[in-house]
Amino acid sequence: MDLDSKKILKTLNPRKIWVPVVLGLGIVVYLFFSDPDITVDKLNLVFDATLLPIFLAILVFSCRFVGYVFRIKSITNNELTWTSSLYVIILWEFASAVTPSVVGGTAVAVFILWKEGIKPGKALGFVLLTAIFDNMFFVLAAPLTLILGIENVFPAVTDSSALLGNSMNLLFFLSYGLITIYTFIMAFALLINPRLFKWILIKITSIKILKRWQYAAYERGTEMILASDQLKGMGNKFWLYLSLSTIFIWSSRYFLLNFLMVSFTKISIGEHVFIFGKQIILWVVMLISPTPGSSGAAEYFFPFFFEENLGDYTLIVNLLWRLFTYYPYLLLGAIFLPRWIKRVFFHAGKIND
């Protein structure tokens, strides 16, 4: 894996935050002006919010962040300090926010862990493992949402002019299929037989048309073997912490929207389950977005899923939802990145490569 400092820091450039911000807010402005039922006066509906659910939304946001920090510290067997874990999560989330969801921030996360004292092989193993468990949450939860009888989880779009809205089912199954295939391939390569995975990569790239990628395939296969070796001998406590913390992290993320919606409208227990399930479907669709951090795509698809629950409050909750789940990491990354660079590259007056 290429851990070139210049390339990684170029990806982490704080100036990149303007791209997702413009995309996200641009879609919101488009939704505002394209809907004749939305007026400036309706924006005053934000003052209808009940404060207790807003406070609970802030609480679950904080819990999710703490869950991330706890997970990375626990799976590295406490090799990271709490301060290091904090920096890792903030910058990892920042990298994910400024790169397309389909690309993710794997290389950046490995680089950050490496600079915090984790060997590259171990760092790659930990990053891939968390990615596998995060994806597995969707792979298992999405069909469970459908099997449990949550009807009409896909939004019914009657406006034929709604771009991509009528293709939601197709987008979901395409995204779900790609995520599932990727997750099981990575799980097999990392946890079951990395040497067979390497052999397959080399064989595939031995085909004449793919020959130019054979060396890269060899490197990726070797890296997978090294990463897999780092995870051998992990006890039950390790896997229990990883599983429970992953469930906690993503459940906290989804409950945040539930609380935001409750602050504006009454929602029954059954509707809460329904909304939770819708978020899983929406998130799977967002994962194949080509935009940084799914900016624009998230804001665009939100009304399709939740307008029937929110009515006139849809645009306001849409903005608050992204304000809580996305923009904080852009801000935190821009603040903490310079401090982290000074911390890991400049120590005691010396430059560390």
Euclidean distance between CA atoms 156 and 329, whole angstroms = 32
The fraction of the chain above a pLDDT of 70, given in percent, is 84
**C-alpha–C-alpha distance, residues 156 and 161, integer Å:** 13
142 lies in a domain?
Answer: yes
Classify residue 325: in a domain, yes or no.
Answer: yes
- Please tell me what DSSP assigns to residue 154: S
More confident residue, 146 or 108: 108
The rounded distance, in Å, linking the Cα atoms of 134 and 93 is 14
Q: Is residue 104 part of a domain?
A: yes
Number of domains in the chain: 1
* Domain ranges, residue 131: 5-348
User: Is the Cα torsion angle 113, 76, 280, 176 positive or negative in sign?
Assistant: positive
Q: Measure the CA–CA gap between 295 and 100, rounded to whole angstroms.
A: 9
pLDDT higher at 149 or 69: 69
Q: Quick one: which of 186, 148, 169, 130 has its CA closest to 274?
A: 148
Q: Is the pLDDT of residue 36 over 80?
A: no
For the stretch 197-251, pLDDT in tens is 999 989 998 888 888 888 888 888 888 898 888 888 888 888 999 999 999 999 9
Tell me the three state secondary structure of residue 217: helix
pLDDT of residue 348: 43
- 15 pLDDT more than 90: no
pTM for the complete prediction? 0.83
78 is written with which tokens? Answer: 């406490």
Q: Is residue 353 part of a domain?
A: no
Helix H or strand E encompassing 346: strand 346-347
